[in-house]
Amino acid sequence: MLSACETGLVDPGDLADEYVGLPAGFVQAGAPSVVSSLWAVDDISTALLMSRFYQYYLGDVTRRAAPMRPSLALSKAQAWLRRELTLEQVTTYISQQEKKLRAEHQYMSLGKLGKTKRQILSDNQPHPFADPYYWAAFIVLGAA
């Protein structure tokens, strides 16, 4: 799984260096599938999306949910991010991350996280990551 920005893109003008592209290279090397992104993505929404993706993909033992195919797990995680994740849940997650970063003296990351938190709170949307910008960049390449 590649959750970094623009890992699913191939520049057709630069075919000498990346004819195949990073995700296709992983698939050709034996990975059954790869989740990648098509544009620069938000750190917080990506962390939440990928966490939920892995819960679906690996199966949730606590809820006795069976593992899912990557394409279905991604689809369900995207639906959760845009329709179910609430502003309260996001702010709770960010507060937990802030405590962790303070304990680790990661002040640059803490500043970036604070900026994201202020933006989310100022928007005051019930589902802060409903916009496709936050979830639609991710695709599955390989075995569905």
- Residue-level pLDDT at 83: 96
pLDDT tens digit sequence for 59-99: 976 777 889 999 999 999 999 999 999 999 999 999 998 89
**How far, in Å, CA of 3 to CA of 8, rounded?**
9
What predicted TM-score, i.e. pTM, was given to this entire model? 0.80
φ, ψ dihedrals at 23, nearest 5°: -60, -45
Sign of CA dihedral 126, 84, 61, 101: negative
